[in-house]
Structures are given as C-alpha cells and as structure tokens.
Amino acid sequence: MSTPRKSPKRPAVRTASAPAGRAVDRPADDEIWPRVTRELADDLAVDALTRDRAGKAPFDEVARLQEAGLPALLTAPGPSRRGADWRAACAVVREISAADSSVGELLAHHYALSWSSRFFGPAHEAPAPRASSAPEAPGAARRPLALDVCTAEERWLLAGGVEPPRPATGPGLVLTPAEGSGGGWILDGRRAFASGVTVADRLVVGARPGGTGDLLVVLVDPAHPGVFTDAGTDRVGQRLAGAGTVTFDHVPVPSEHVLGVLPHDEHAVAPFTTLAPLALRLLLTQVGLGIAEGALAEARDISRADQAGPAPAGGADGPATADGTAPAGAGDDPYLLLAYGELATAAHAAAAVVERATDALARGLHAEWSLTPEERADISVLVAAAETVTGRAAVHITTRILELVDGTAGADSRAGGPGFDRFWRNARALTAPTRADHRLRDIGDHYLNGTHARLTLLA
C-alpha cells in the first residue's frame, strides 16, 4: 500500500465572469442545464481515453465541472432556488457518465452528499422522534446549515460517506468531545471512500461519539493538517473517480459543522432520512446507464464508419456515391443488425426502469418529512429494480461491444484502438459491490409478502 500523503488543496476554479467566492449565476430554468451538460460531455469525450490511461487525480475534470457550474446545480426547492431539480440532476449525471463515467461518479456522490443537512437535520415542521443513546450533539438544537445552498455559494465539491460502518470493517470514525468552552468534537479514524476524496473541497462523513450510539454527520475541511489521503491508484475501473482512504488525526469539528444525527435505534429513524442511501444508489445507477449508452453510441459510430468506407468507382459492387462512399445499405450485416437490436433494446429497457425509479424518488424527496414507511418501501423496490436491471445491462452491453469491434487490437486501449475495454472495466468496477441476489430477494419479498425493507442507511 502506498504511503499516506497529505491531501492537496485544490485551488478554486472560477469562470471569468464569476466573482471570487460566489457561485456562477445561472437562470433558475431547468432548460439551460441540458445544453450546458451536452457541451461539457462533448468536451470530456474528446480525451476520455487519454485521461483514463494517465490515471491522474481528477483536478482537471473537477475544473471543467466547476466551469460549467454543475456542482452547484442541485438545490432544494424554494423561491430563491437557482439550480435544477432532482430529475434534472439525474439526467446530468447520466449524460456526463456516457462521456466519462468517473466524472459522473464524482458528481453523483457530490449531489447525494449535498442533501445531507436535509436528510439528517431537524425536520422542517415536526422533528422526527429520536431515541439517542449518545451524548447530545453540540449545536443539534439549532438548525444546521443548508449544505446544498452553502455548497452552491462556496463552489464546493463534496466527497465522503455517511453510512454506518459494517461490522467487519471495524468501529469506523470516532468523535470525542473537544476540551474547552468552545464545544465541538475531535474526529479520529481511518476510512476508505469510493469517490472524490483526493480532490474534494469538503468531506461529509458519519462518525460516532466514543464509537457507539447515534451517528453524527459532520463537515470536515480536507485541507486541515490532520487530514491525510492515500489515493486509490490501483483500481480496475473508474480510475478517475478520486477514490482513496482518508485518515483523520485529531481533527477539530466545530459544533456548527454537525449537520445532523442518525439514530442508532432503527425505530427512531424517519422514512425521509432513509432516502439518503436510495438517492446515492439511484445516482450511481444513472452512472451505470450512462456507461451502457456511451459505449453503445461509440460502437455505433465505429460500425457506421466501417460500413461507409471508400467504395470502388464501379464494377460488380456498383458505383460510388458523389462523396466517394458506398451507397446506403452497402455492407449491411444481418447479424450485426441483430446484435445492435439486442443491445439497444437492453439499454431502452434499463432506461425505462430507471426513469420510473427517478420519478418515484423525486416525489419522495418532495414529500420530505411527511413521507410514510409504505411510500419509502415502494421507492426502495423501484430503486432496487433499476439497480439490478441496469447493472446487468451495463455489463452485458459493454461485454458484447468488445466482441462487435473489429479485432481485439481495436478493442484494447493498450493497442491504441478506440478503447472499448474502458467501458467494460468501468461497468464492472461500478457494479461489483452490488449484490443483485440481495436486491432481487427484497423485491420478491415485497411483491409476494408485502414486506417493507428496513429503514436503514446501509446500502
């Protein structure tokens, strides 16, 4: 394992028209984001393979995101909202992922974490019941900062993870009360994160006071001298997602940086709070769908170019067209058409399931604290179905595309070809942590027995 290094502080990247310390002002109109996203996706697609080969920390990629204003896109509904809604954010992640899925994963984690203060902070009207077994969080009585709004104003890129540690991974991150009259906490521990920690402006992490009891969700500045990052450089896929392991060594957490609380007692967790892992899972499903659609589109372009190659001036095959290419339909291979028909259908089916889950989750987020356990269970099933269908489709499509490319040299990025192995590696890396059999069991239990999934933050 490489030696832990100090997490570098990325300089703020700003457009020429944006004053320092302020977000890029964009119209509160969701229609602008598709155009901005297409332009950025086209830009990322040009050198995606070259950047994947280099495997460097994604500072340049984050700069492009910031210049486009995409990290500030997702803000909660309200009269002063300048960003876009949840459906638009999902569409952005999907299209960026079609061009570069590592950048899409960065954005997916950022969007999910930007809602942390809304998921884990006090309810807007009636606070959810909490049976706390840990010391009261300093500042918990006050409404925490609205992280999505603050992120947009400060132009932060967020990374981290708030889900509780699994038993096999140890106690996770630990908080101890800070000495003195200022209050707050001291954060210690070490944890691996899937995305963004090598380039993030702020980290959002979950930690327990004394290692037990309720989980506190806190905001940490990675530029603090006590924060060290060991970059994950040996990944099979998603090489530019900024994954790594972060060590926290006596890092102070002011009370105002406690974003909220996740009760240890599952019966005290509000259904709206448990939308947090579903939101992240659905955003990562959008990444997987983007991988499948991006690979399919690039393969189609290669196949079209092969079929429209130079044609003879005349002869048995007929005359060439005015631009020197073969007539339309020349070189059509029925088996190639069959293969593309199969893959396009798989992509369309996955997209339909994902869009249904996206609509359901958007409605749940809009309901906020009035969301019922039954409604949350229905959303959970739809997200699990989208995750399962898309994961299988992404792996199948990217595998078959390797077979459709003309020759293994063309498929292998190491040989200087179009690099379709990149899509396959990214799809495998993204879907490997997900257990499809667990998702299908939960779906079947809900469908057959009407059983509700547990209200938990474990993905």
Chain segment 268-292, per-residue pLDDT in tens = 889 999 999 999 999 999 999 999 9
How many Å separate Cα 277 from the centre of its chain?
11
Complete domains list, the chain, with CATH: 1-12+19-264 (2.40.110.10), 275-307+329-449 (1.20.140.10)
Rounded Cα distance between 287 and 63, Å, is 20
Whether residue 11 is predicted with pLDDT greater than 50 in this model: the reply is no
- Rounded to two decimals, the pTM is 0.83
Burial class of residue 64 in the structure, from the number of CB atoms within 10 Å of its CB (0-12 exposed, 13-18 middle, 19+ buried): middle
Q: Poorest-confidence range of 168-172, 186-190, 289-293, 436-440?
A: 168-172
Rounded Cα distance between 307 and 340, Å, is 14
For residues 288 and 392, the answer to whether their CB atoms sit within 8 Å is no
Whether residue 129 is predicted with pLDDT greater than 90 in this model: the reply is no
How many CB atoms lie under 10 A from the CB of residue 59?
Answer: 14
Rounded Cα distance between 287 and 377, Å, is 23
Rounded Cα distance between 308 and 324, Å, is 9
Rounded Cα distance between 344 and 95, Å, is 17
Q: Region 24-31: what's the mean pLDDT?
A: 49
Strand partners, 245: 192, 230
Q: Region 126-147: what's the mean pLDDT?
A: 47
Whether residue 89 is predicted with pLDDT greater than 80 in this model: the reply is yes
Q: Who wins on pLDDT, 447 or 17?
A: 447
Phi/psi at 261 (nearest 5 deg)? -130, 140
Strand partners, 247: 190, 228
Q: Poorest-confidence range of 37-51, 112-126, 145-159, 269-283?
A: 112-126
Over the range 286-321, which residues count as b (16 or more CB within 10 Å of their CB) and which as e?
A: bbbbbbbbbbbebbeebbeeebbeebeeeeeeeebe
Chain segment 216-237, per-residue pLDDT in tens = 999 999 999 999 999 876 778 8
> Tokens 């707050």 correspond to what residue?
184
Q: Region 177-182: what's the mean pLDDT?
A: 79
Q: Poorest-confidence range of 175-179, 362-366, 381-385, 422-426?
A: 175-179
Q: Who wins on pLDDT, 266 or 437?
A: 437
Q: Region 395-400: what's the mean pLDDT?
A: 95
Rounded Cα distance between 396 and 445, Å, is 26
Q: Poorest-confidence range of 63-67, 127-131, 337-341?
A: 127-131
Chain segment 342-381, per-residue pLDDT in tens = 999 999 999 999 999 999 999 999 999 999 999 999 999 9
